[in-house]
Structure 1
């Protein structure tokens, strides 16, 4: 009974704060934390461009909303770009740097190769902003705002994005390979991967809900649909239709088969019904410590949306470059 009462209290709080992440959450995240656990003042401010480029946020929102309207999957792609950026060197747009003859970036690391997308949307936003306010808005800030606006465009809640990040002149191929969570991880591995970036297990479960939108390549879930027993048989057969045992590695299937283009709690309901596409997804409801939270998010999707927004706010503050660090790239795919 105590647990039910606590849930009712939380629902009431969420209903009072629909669309708004708590000020206390923003305050606690306003100082960034490095992947090693040390704290640094991020100096990020949601009003950073108020005088420097007052139309920046409206421009990003308009272009992101249009891109998602034209292709709903793009919302998941832009959200994923931000995640894959922040989890390596911090939120510094290192993921956007393309390989050259003398530079090896992150885009061809194992978790990113042939799967990251949305670069052209980011570059188009950057080009418009460069015409409006040359040399002012960073690619890292574009990624952070575009991720938030993508979630909102597909039905999620927004969060206050601190601004003032600067762009890195470096990238980490090895960091992308080591720090980005694999879809083949067990629950303990997932918890450890997120704890490395100082996320709690609860925040990990909330952030995993990003899989309520988007698609995945056959290569990443073939072993689950053919070899695992903790999966609905009808669902497995349905997934096998587009993912043969041999070949078709790049064939796509929705991660959330129920509402693939809507940011909702269906992902968690799918896990309860043994319809998690990745091995790592189903691990959240494998009888371990996170199963109760999965049930809560399935029953009360608004709680999930609220927790996701707060966790994304925290993620957007991972080790940003500020002040005179880094640079403001003129083109997001290369250093100045």
Structure 2
């Protein structure tokens, strides 16, 4: 389904971003206009090239931005490797053997360093590539607010504690999002990011073998791919209908009990409030696109480092 209301909602996104800039004064959509005017074009081309080479990687880099922002804010900490002083968030349970797309960030950062050394932060790169990946999959666009700086350290324990888990129910999800200042509605709409990408057997095994809120034929099909033991890294689409198209099929799947993760299906089967949002988005792609863009802007504003806080890393994998 194409968005016939795309231009109208794009205008709303611009107005929404400008109003946030005026109120908070922290981040700005034209932050690099004078210091690195080609920054957005460089990132856009990098994302385009990466997805052309591997369709899945767009979903992976969208996920990186999510997992970064839920740990001490959107500060690029997820990109850091281990050092003698701290353990990387990459090996935290929600990221270990599943977080990917780091090479895409590396490549884009290298291009930006050639064009404007020491100017564009890794945290901002994550925010921009998340938007550009969504657009490449046919989803909405929005004005990314920029001006974040990069953290000097990672927080592995916080990654274990605060990143939402595939086993979460509505109550857990609500608490997890609330802990970073996001609303119940943000939780439901940002879960819609699972309309693209793949998940490992390890993340949905319990759901397909133990839960009752799943279509029987769908569960039986998945059990062949993901038995009770073994095949841990076997991949299945989060949205079995259109795994690389950003649309509302994710929500439509929940209506017929074909959500891949427990944390997905719980949005429709266990809570009346979340059910109403799921039904609305399943029927109204324009509404989903508009709300997703707004929620991504809000998520991107979780505790950014600005002004003299943090640094602009030259290499996203290590502090300067």
Fold agreement, TM-score > 0.5: yes
Counterpart-to-counterpart distance in 2, 1:138 and 1:216: 29
Per the alignment, residue 17 of structure 1 pairs with: 8
Choose which of 160, 163, 175 in structure 2 pairs with 1:192.
175
TM-score of the aligned structures, taking structure 2 as reference length: 0.95
Q: Deviations over 1:84-116 (max 9, x none)?
A: 001111111000001134321211111111110
- Equivalent pair of 1:21/1:159 in contact (CA under 8 Å): no
- Equivalent pair of 2:121/2:312 in contact (CA under 8 Å): yes
Secondary structure (helix, strand or coil) at the match of 1:181 reads coil
Is residue 96 of structure 2 the alignment partner of residue 105 of structure 1?
A: no
- Equivalent pair of 2:152/2:310 in contact (CA under 8 Å): yes
Per the alignment, residue 8 of structure 1 pairs with: none
Choose which of 278, 295, 298 in structure 1 pairs with 2:279.
295
Is residue 171 of structure 2 the alignment partner of residue 180 of structure 1?
A: no
Aligned length: 317
Aligned residue runs from structure 1 range 52-63, under 5 A? 52-63=35-46
Any stretches of 5+ residues in structure 2 without a counterpart? none
Counterpart-to-counterpart distance in 2, 1:27 and 1:311: 15
Is residue 142 of structure 2 the alignment partner of residue 159 of structure 1?
A: yes
Is residue 30 of structure 2 the alignment partner of residue 47 of structure 1?
A: yes
Aligned residue runs from structure 1 range 206-245, under 5 A? 206-245=189-228
Secondary structure (helix, strand or coil) at the match of 2:120 reads coil
Task: State the shift of 1:69 in Å.
Answer: 2.0
Task: State the shift of 1:232 in Å.
Answer: 0.5
Counterpart-to-counterpart distance in 2, 1:217 and 1:31: 42
Counterpart-to-counterpart distance in 1, 2:281 and 2:226: 29
Choose which of 311, 314, 318 in structure 2 pairs with 1:327.
311
* Shift in alpha-carbon separation, 1:20–1:114, aligned structure 2, 3 A: farther
Per the alignment, residue 120 of structure 1 pairs with: 103
- Equivalent pair of 1:29/1:313 in contact (CA under 8 Å): no
- Equivalent pair of 1:78/1:118 in contact (CA under 8 Å): yes
Choose which of 57, 64, 73 in structure 1 pairs with 2:47.
64
Task: State the shift of 1:21 in Å.
Answer: 4.3
Moved more, 236-245 or 177-186: 236-245
* Shift in alpha-carbon separation, 1:333–1:31, aligned structure 2, 3 A: farther
Per the alignment, residue 6 of structure 1 pairs with: none
Counterpart-to-counterpart distance in 2, 1:31 and 1:245: 53
Instruction: List, as ranges, runs of 4+ consecutive aligned residues in structure 1 with deviation greater than 4 Å.
Output: none
Per the alignment, residue 127 of structure 2 pairs with: 144
- Equivalent pair of 2:170/2:270 in contact (CA under 8 Å): no
- Equivalent pair of 1:46/1:163 in contact (CA under 8 Å): yes
Task: State the shift of 1:42 in Å.
Answer: 5.7
Per the alignment, residue 73 of structure 1 pairs with: 56
- Equivalent pair of 1:21/1:158 in contact (CA under 8 Å): no
Counterpart-to-counterpart distance in 2, 1:133 and 1:115: 32
Task: State the shift of 1:28 in Å.
Answer: 5.3
Moved more, 315-324 or 259-268: 315-324
Per the alignment, residue 315 of structure 1 pairs with: 299
Per the alignment, residue 96 of structure 1 pairs with: 79
Task: State the shift of 1:197 in Å.
Answer: 1.4
TM-score of the aligned structures, taking structure 1 as reference length: 0.90
- Equivalent pair of 2:6/2:140 in contact (CA under 8 Å): no
